[in-house]
Amino acid sequence: MKDSNFLKENNARHVWHPMAHPADSQTNLPTILTGGRDVFITDVDGHEVLDAVGGLWNVNLGYSCEPVKQAISDQLNALPYYSIFRGTSNDKVIELSYELADFFAPDGLTRAFFTSGGSDSVEVALKLARQYHRIRGEAGRTKFLSLKKGYHGTHFGGASVNGNGKFRNAYEPLLPGCFHIPAPYTYRNPFNESDPAKLAQLCAAALEDEIAFQGAGTIAAFIMEPVLGAGGVMPPHPSFMPMVREICDRNGILLISDEVITAFGRTGSESGARHWSVQPDFMCTAKAITNGYFPFGAVMIAGHVAEVFEKDTSGIASIDTGYTYSGHPVGAAAALAALAEIRRLKVHENAAARGKELLGGLKGLQERFEVIGDVRGEGLMCAIELVSDRASKKPSAKDVPLKLQQAAYEDGVMIRVSGNNAIFSPPLIVTSDNVTKILSAVETGLKAVS
Ligand code: PLP
């Protein structure tokens, strides 16, 4: 390995980071990582910290998941690459499709279309939703509805349904025909409603209004995260997603569940849709599908949607989209091994139990630190929202969450900052001791900013 100074200087000189101003990483050196084990990561200066970010919501089984590493290594030796474009398939992708259909059977999802990551999965789901209506003779259904605060990746389709100007403004004009409704975000919402159940009803009513305004026959799909993640972790009231499902059904609109974060256990259930007892028409997955060790994703498709495509005899249902790395045999092998571990360890159960401990601990800190305006969480996705004044809910100054993050890091825990939120999404295998450590480092961070 090159020495620490070489790495720091050349990162500043040559690397442009996603989601960062290019000049920023020249002055604010990023943490350069060189190692990972169990739920810990090590930086170039030899500092080992507990990773309460879980990579980027994806290293759910930690950094020492030997079955996934072994599967990748074995597959590199067997068949390191081949495409699955029309005419070829591979043994691992077939086995994986079988296992995924079984895993997602309670969600009614029986077919898989493979991608290279979450943004790809969203793009494919949006395209297939339009195509579904076209096959059925409703080519006028082209629009998409989504939630403000939602995050659906960075491709043009996904950016268009994203509900945060930060990821849209520099790249406009985006896809026409995308409209956003208020998010079930209890702490701040345009209705000033602090009761989550009532807020869910208001947001569902806003969806109905928008459908009526646009005309149901012009809308292809509604896309949502079962728990808003990157926007700041906003779990809706349990009634919200079922209400959305019912509204979509009544209006012939497909429901895309964007589970790039929530699939495979993070909410405390095997999938976010299952968490809310909903069957979506499409489910976008990626991230934890390979434990983050290989870029890979899958769009899962409901049987009744798949049949519409499969029964077409005109040719209009040909899926004329896909990626060089769709169904990559190494990714498929990694996903097969990860899925087996996810099932063997029942990680969703640990996510539910440890998530309760983490949320309870964060609520305890809220009682002691005025700077915490709100605490939210579902399973092992939690956030604290930092404010400069509780009464007015004025967001904290920009440097406050960054200072908190720095102090927590120095105390041995990596956390993530998004706007005025500190976000926690540790691997789903964390222990109660790990949760205690996260909470004590957050406390250190809070003391540093209080
Ligand atoms: N959808 C959701 C809900 C996500 O959280 C993300 C990434 O965080 C994406 C899509 C995009 O995934 P990727 O970054 O793998 O393209």
Burial 137-160 (b: 16+ CB within 10 A, else e): eeeebbbbbbbbbbbbbbbebbbb
Atom of ligand 1 nearest to the CA of 262: 3
Rounded to 5°, the CA angle 362-445-52 comes to: 60
Residue 94 has what pLDDT?
98
Q: What is the ipTM score, two decimals?
A: 0.99
Res. 450 pLDDT band, cuts 50 70 90: very high
pLDDT value at 2 more than 90: no
Is pLDDT above 80 for 281? Answer: yes
Residue whose Cα lies nearest atom 1 of ligand 1: it is 152
- Rounded distance, CA 61 to CA 381, Å? 15
The string of pLDDT tens digits covering residues 179-225 is 999 999 999 999 999 999 999 999 999 999 999 999 999 999 999 99
Give tens-digit pLDDT for 38-51.
999 999 999 999 99
**Confidence band (pLDDT; 50, 70, 90) for 27?**
confident
Q: Which pLDDT does position 355 carry in this prediction?
A: 98
Residue 153 Cα: closest atom of ligand 1? 11
Tally of helices (H runs) and strands (E runs) in the chain:
15, 16
- CB of 118 closer than 6 angstroms to any ligand 1 atom: yes
Which secondary-structure segment (H or E) carries 157?
helix 156-161
- Report residue 357: phi and psi, to 5°: -65, -45
Look at residue 13 in the predicted model and tell me its pLDDT.
92
On the question of pLDDT at 251 being above 80, the answer is yes
User: So what's the pLDDT on residue 224?
Assistant: 98
Q: Which amino acid is at 225?
A: E
Polymer length of the chain: 450
Average pLDDT over residues 252-266: 98
- Specify the ligand 1 atom closest to the Cα of 57: 8
Q: Among candidates 103, 42, 55, 37, which has minimal Cα distance to 380? A: 55
Helices in 279-383 by DSSP H: which ranges? Answer: 303-310, 329-345, 347-368
At 434, is the pLDDT very low, low, confident or very high (cuts 50, 70, 90)?
very high
pLDDT at site 257? 98
Per-residue pLDDT band at 286 (split at 50, 70, 90): very high
Shortest-distance atom of ligand 1 to CA 229: 5
Question: How high is the pLDDT of residue 278?
Answer: 98
Question: In 245-310, where do the E strands start and end?
Answer: 254-258, 282-285, 297-302
Q: What domains, with CATH codes, occur in the chain?
A: 31-64+347-449 (3.90.1150.10), 68-345 (3.40.640.10)
Please give the mean pLDDT across all residues of the chain: 97
- Going by pLDDT thresholds of 50, 70 and 90, the confidence category of residue 29 is confident
Question: Does the CB atom of residue 151 touch ligand 1 within 6 A?
Answer: yes
Q: Is the pLDDT of residue 86 over 90?
A: yes
Mean pLDDT of 291-295: 98
User: In this predicted structure, what is the pLDDT of residue 1?
Assistant: 79
Q: How far out from the chain centre does Cα 244 lie?
A: 19
| Residue identifier of the C-alpha nearest atom 12 of ligand 1 | 118
The vertex-133 CA angle with 131 and 138, nearest 5°, equals 130
In whole angstroms, what is the distance from residue 407 CA to residue 422 CA?
13
Answer yes or no: is the C-beta of 147 below 6 A from any ligand 1 atom.
no
Q: What is the pLDDT of residue 423?
A: 98
* Residues contacting residue 403 through CB under 8 Å, at least 6 positions apart: 445, 448, 449
